[in-house]
Amino acid sequence: MLVRQAAWTCTLLAQIVAVVALPAIRLSGLSPSSGLWEKGASIVNGGEWMVKQVNDNPALLPDYSLEILWQDGGCDSLVGQRALYANWFRKPYHLLNGSTVSGIKTVGLIGPDCSPTSLAQAALAYYVRMPMISASSTFPSLSDRSQYPGFWRTIVPDSRLVEAFVATVRSFGFNEVAVIADAEIAASFLPKLLETVDKFDVELLGPSMFLGPTANGWLLRQDSAEEGAREIVEELVAVRPSPPRFVILLLREGRSARAVLCAAFHRGLSSQITFMTFGWLAPLWWRDLPPGYHCTEQDMEVAVNKTISTQAVQKRSDLGTRLSCSASATAADFFADMGDALEEAASSADVVCTYAKMLHEIIYTHGNTLAELEDSSDDIYSQAQQILEATDFEGTQGRMQFLPGLPDPNGAVEIQQIQISNFNTQLQKTLL
């Protein structure tokens, strides 16, 4: 009798497990846990937080379990390329937890993690009919639908930051500005920069960066940033009748911005020029000094004082709003759980919700099966793109919608100024 009861109990437990183990809908995710920008933990944490909300919400994907296969994109186009080629053609996934899974089919990509990888892989994703939504690729050129069809992102592009730079210069009554750009990425920014200075009637100072009468400025190479910065600063000093009042630094690495500001400090320009930087550079980036560096921490705080930065607003102000992909959680719940680790956590969470909403529509409204999604046909891909165009939900950053005809979210930008007192070297940021 006891044996029969035990057997019956085991059978019942097996049936319960079978009911609970829902079929998985899998997304692949590229997150930078190595390379120049090691902020992958925040991207993963934000994405996984939203995965749990989706799976606990019976109104979204009640018959499935959403999963993400996270891999290291290295913030490097070659690393990302190798990973995605392996995923899409040979099917192995080398996961961040050290394990490898094979024979898995995914229905979408979260990423790539950094813009150079997105530039390199958008065409391939389109070719294999793989939806692609990035939480962290911000290059302006990715907005070009003719060059990068099928690419989407939930983070405000750097083109909005460039516009904020130029608008700020104009708001102070100036009609000239100098630009120092990362030589490797300048081409991605140039069209939007030229469009923006024309819109605000602002002149670009300096030598010609590229062919063209108005594409003026200075290019700085990453591999010779210190020497290049000193040469550029000498040329800024020579600008007549006086050095430019504002200099925009279109530089993706803190060490390059540090080189320019240190060189400007030694030439006595720190009080004459207001430098403008991307707000997404590492916190306190000017204090990251190599041993024996020719500017001390105190020098750099003088150099960085009054610097203006712009960045995307990634935390909505109305924190009591319930997030659309959650049965009950609010934006306040999300940010409380994330703590201070907010580097693209919010935009990553919004990518997951974007996918969940799209998958709900394509399965439950359009009547497609998981097998059809995994086959990545032209028809399924077309349906997915049409649904993504109509995206509209309450996300962690705000109301998530894409701008008409663009892959970019309708997000906000904040303009801030670093203010460091002689008596208090704590970082202070004031919204302008």
Q: Identify whether 241 is preceded by a cis peptide bond (ω within 30 of 0).
A: yes
Q: Is residue 408 part of a domain?
A: no
Find the radius of gyration of the CA atoms of the chain.
24
| 420 pLDDT higher than 90 | no
Distance, CA of 54 to CA of 29 (rounded, Å): 17
Buried b (16+ CB within 10 A) or exposed e, 192-222: bbbebbeeeebebbbeebeeeeebbbbbbeb
| 16 pLDDT higher than 80 | no
| Cα torsion 344, 350, 352, 358: sign | negative
Asked if residue 238 and residue 179 are part of one domain, the reply reads yes
Per-residue pLDDT, averaged over 161-183, amounts to 95
Q: Is residue 8 part of a domain?
A: no
| 175 pLDDT higher than 50 | yes
pLDDT score at 37: 65
Host domain of residue 249: 159-312+414-431
Q: Is residue 149 part of a domain?
A: yes
Q: Is residue 151 part of a domain?
A: yes
| pLDDT, greater one: 295 or 111 | 295
Which of 67-71, 79-83, 190-194 tops mean pLDDT?
67-71
Per-residue pLDDT, averaged over 346-362, amounts to 98
Distance, CA of 3 to CA of 232 (rounded, Å): 85
Per-residue pLDDT, averaged over 30-56, amounts to 86
Q: Is residue 407 part of a domain?
A: no
Q: How confident is the model at residue 222 (pLDDT cuts 50, 70, 90)?
A: confident
Distance, CA of 151 to CA of 111 (rounded, Å): 10
Q: Is 284 left (phi over 0), alpha (psi -120 to 50) or beta?
A: left
Tokens of 201: 């009637």
Asked if residue 132 and residue 149 are part of one domain, the reply reads yes
pLDDT score at 321: 98
Per-residue pLDDT, averaged over 242-259, amounts to 94
Distance, CA of 96 to CA of 280 (rounded, Å): 24
| 148 pLDDT higher than 50 | yes
Residue 231's CATH number = 3.40.50.2300
Q: Identify whether 112 is preceded by a cis peptide bond (ω within 30 of 0).
A: yes
| 210 pLDDT higher than 80 | no
Return phi, psi of residue 178, to 5°. -105, 150
Asked if residue 303 and residue 164 are part of one domain, the reply reads yes
Asked if residue 288 and residue 418 are part of one domain, the reply reads yes
| pLDDT, greater one: 197 or 240 | 197
Distance, CA of 136 to CA of 118 (rounded, Å): 10
Give the H or E element holding residue 51.
helix 40-55
pLDDT score at 39: 67
Q: Which single residue is written with the structure tokens 């070009």? A: 144
How many angstroms from the chain centroid is the CA of residue 62?
Answer: 30
170, 160, 162: which is closest to 406 by C-alpha? Answer: 160
Asked if residue 188 and residue 98 are part of one domain, the reply reads no
Per-residue pLDDT, averaged over 178-191, amounts to 90
Q: Which single residue is written with the structure tokens 């019976």? A: 58
| 3 pLDDT higher than 90 | no
pLDDT score at 165: 96
| pLDDT, greater one: 197 or 431 | 197
Q: How confident is the model at residue 263 (pLDDT cuts 50, 70, 90)?
A: very high
Per-residue pLDDT, averaged over 56-83, amounts to 92
Q: Which of 82-86, 354-358, 408-412, 426-430 has the lowest mean pLDDT?
A: 426-430
> What are the residues facing 28 on neighbouring strands?
69, 109
Give the up-direction half-sphere exposure of residue 65: CA atoms within 13 A in the CB hemisphere.
8
Asked if residue 148 and residue 29 are part of one domain, the reply reads yes
User: How many domains, the chain?
Assistant: 2
Asked if residue 109 and residue 249 are part of one domain, the reply reads no
pLDDT score at 261: 98
Q: Is residue 2 part of a domain?
A: no
> What are the residues facing 211 on neighbouring strands?
none
| pLDDT, greater one: 295 or 183 | 295
| pLDDT, greater one: 355 or 98 | 355
Asked if residue 167 and residue 135 are part of one domain, the reply reads no
Distance, CA of 347 to CA of 344 (rounded, Å): 5
| pLDDT, greater one: 420 or 136 | 136
Average pLDDT, the chain: 89
Give the H or E element holding residue 254.
helix 254-266
Burial status of residue 55 (CB atoms within 10 A of its CB: 0-12, 13-18, 19 or more): middle
- Whether 153 and 134 have beta carbons less than 8 Å apart is answered as yes
pLDDT score at 214: 76
Tokens of 270: 């720190």
Asked if residue 166 and residue 271 are part of one domain, the reply reads yes
Per-residue pLDDT, averaged over 192-196, amounts to 94
Q: Is residue 424 part of a domain?
A: yes
Asked if residue 370 and residue 242 are part of one domain, the reply reads no
**Which residues contact residue 300 at a Cβ distance below 8 angstroms, ignoring those fewer than 6 apart?**
258, 261, 262, 265, 286, 287, 289
> What are the residues facing 310 on neighbouring strands?
278, 415
Asked if residue 147 and residue 25 are part of one domain, the reply reads yes
DSSP three-state, residue 302: helix
Per-residue pLDDT, averaged over 232-258, amounts to 93
| 45 pLDDT higher than 80 | yes
Per-residue pLDDT, averaged over 399-408, amounts to 96
Q: Is residue 13 part of a domain?
A: no
Asked if residue 301 and residue 232 are part of one domain, the reply reads yes
Distance, CA of 60 to CA of 323 (rounded, Å): 13
pLDDT score at 283: 79
Alpha-carbon distance values, 218 to 33, 190, 215, 234 (Å): 32, 12, 10, 12
What percentage of the chain reaches a pLDDT higher than 70?
90
The pLDDT tens digits for 285-340 are: 999 999 999 999 999 999 999 999 999 999 999 999 999 999 999 999 999 999 87
